[in-house]
Amino acid sequence: MNGLLFGLAIVLPPRFTPERVRYDRRYRTLDKYRFIVGFLAVPLAFYALFVISPFLQAIYYSFTDWSGGPVANFIGFDNYRKMWNDDRFWDSLRVSTLLLVVAPVVTLVLGMFFAYMITSGGRHRRGRAIAGVAGSSLYKVVYFFPQVLSVAIIAVVWGRVFNTNSGLINGGLDKIGINGPAWLGGDETLGLISLLIVISWSFVGFYVVLFSAAMGSVPQDIYEAALLDGAGRARTFFSVTLPLIWDAVRTGWIYMGIQALDTFAICLVMVPPHVLKVTPVFLYERFRDGQYGYATSIGVVLLVLSMAFSLIVMRVGNRDRIEY
């Protein structure tokens, strides 16, 4: 072996010796990592400064009696003990948990249904195994329109729609001889249903666009094979489309869950305080009352709950990736 290396060293130019080749390979690897570190250094620094640092500060203040002043005395777990014994916190957390469970299911199901109709709900056309309904491009714009509206505007408009006396819903029911309920008049169940309707309406357009893009990337050959095997629309969706877009569904599930858990402006503006409160509104009220340390401890609980929800969804929704 040594003789072979010696012979190569004589025959080949010095830059092609085995030692030089190994050195060049190590140098290229080191240069690659230097480029990656240099490219990411500034973004990571900004992320640490504006994202990680506030999280760490909030965790620290949750163990203090900070009231907004320059002094924050360390009090250990007193804020968390207070939270544990606070019935108002548990009531708000119960409402937020219901939204966390129900809102993603309703919104994602509607998003997938509308997206499937836009991409595959039309009649078969010449040269295409599947096609969307007529005017599908316009429907995408219509569904996405709530995303460009301010959350406060959405809350004010829907608050008028759900108004007991002059609202659009009860006004329509009165036309057919039905006395509409007091949607936001004090019943927690009706208030929760109203809030769920507004949340799903305001976010479903985003998932229509997301799922439409995922469905549009599925090759036509797969749908043609399913049609040749006699699969109908429902069977094609559950056996072909849904498994192939599952990564997008899981991502949307996590994102929508966090959005439902973080519902603040809609509930604060639209729903009267005596009907129901979500945890972010309860947190805001503690800040308004000057209980900053207690409020930050509630924020830490929301952070932990969001992370736990994301990990559970990633674990439950974990499937083998299908390549196509």
Q: Which of 18-22, 71-75, 318-322 has the lowest mean pLDDT?
A: 18-22
| Size of the chain in residues | 324
What's the confidence (pLDDT) of residue 101? 92
Give the tokens for residue 75: 């009090």
DSSP string, 301-321: HHHHHHHHHHHHHHHHT--PP
- Across the range 193-207, mean pLDDT stands at 93
| Residue that has been written with the tokens 């010095």 in this structure | 14
- For residue 307, how many C-alpha atoms fall within 13 Å in the half-sphere facing its CB? 6
Contact 143, 114 (CB under 8 A): yes
Give the H or E element holding residue 182.
Answer: none
The pLDDT mean for the chain works out to: 83
Give 41-85 pLDDT, tens digit per residue: 888 899 999 989 988 998 999 999 888 778 888 999 999 999 999
Helical packing angle, 136-144 and 188-216, nearest 10°: 140
Contact 184, 273 (CB under 8 A): no
What's the confidence (pLDDT) of residue 9? 45
Residues 6+ apart with CB under 8 A from 215: 115, 116, 119, 120, 241, 245
C-alpha–C-alpha distance, residues 286 and 84, integer Å: 15
Give the tokens for residue 300: 């830490």
Give the tokens for residue 95: 């409402």
DSSP string, 143-206: HHGGGGS-HHHHHHHHHHHT-TTT-HHHHHHHHTT-----TTTT-HHHHHHHHHHHHHHHHHHH
DSSP string, 208-221: HHHHHHHHHTS-HH
What's the confidence (pLDDT) of residue 10? 44
Give the tokens for residue 195: 């809030």
What's the confidence (pLDDT) of residue 98? 93
Residue 121: C-alpha distances to residues 54, 127, 218, 237 (Å): 47, 16, 15, 11
Backbone angles phi, psi at 273, to 5 degrees: -60, -30
In this prediction the pTM is: 0.81
What's the confidence (pLDDT) of residue 4? 42
Bridge partners, 63 (sequence order): none
Give the tokens for residue 278: 């979500």
Q: DSSP secondary-structure letter at 127? A: T
Contact 223, 240 (CB under 8 A): yes
The radius of gyration of the chain from alpha carbons, rounded to an integer in Å, stands at 28
Sorted by where each begins, the domain ranges of the chain are: 2-44, 88-316
Give 167-194 pLDDT, tens digit per residue: 888 888 888 888 888 888 878 889 899 9
Contact 147, 157 (CB under 8 A): no
Q: Which of 231-235, 281-285, 306-310 has the lowest mean pLDDT?
A: 231-235
C-alpha–C-alpha distance, residues 273 and 278, integer Å: 10
Largest CA distance in the chain: 102
Burial class (CB in 10 A: 0-12, 13-18, 19+), 266: buried
Q: Which fold has domain 88-316?
A: MetI-like fold (1.10.3720)
What's the confidence (pLDDT) of residue 34? 77
Residue 10: C-alpha distances to residues 7, 16, 25, 79, 167 (Å): 5, 10, 21, 76, 93
At 6, the pLDDT band (50, 70, 90 cuts) reads very low
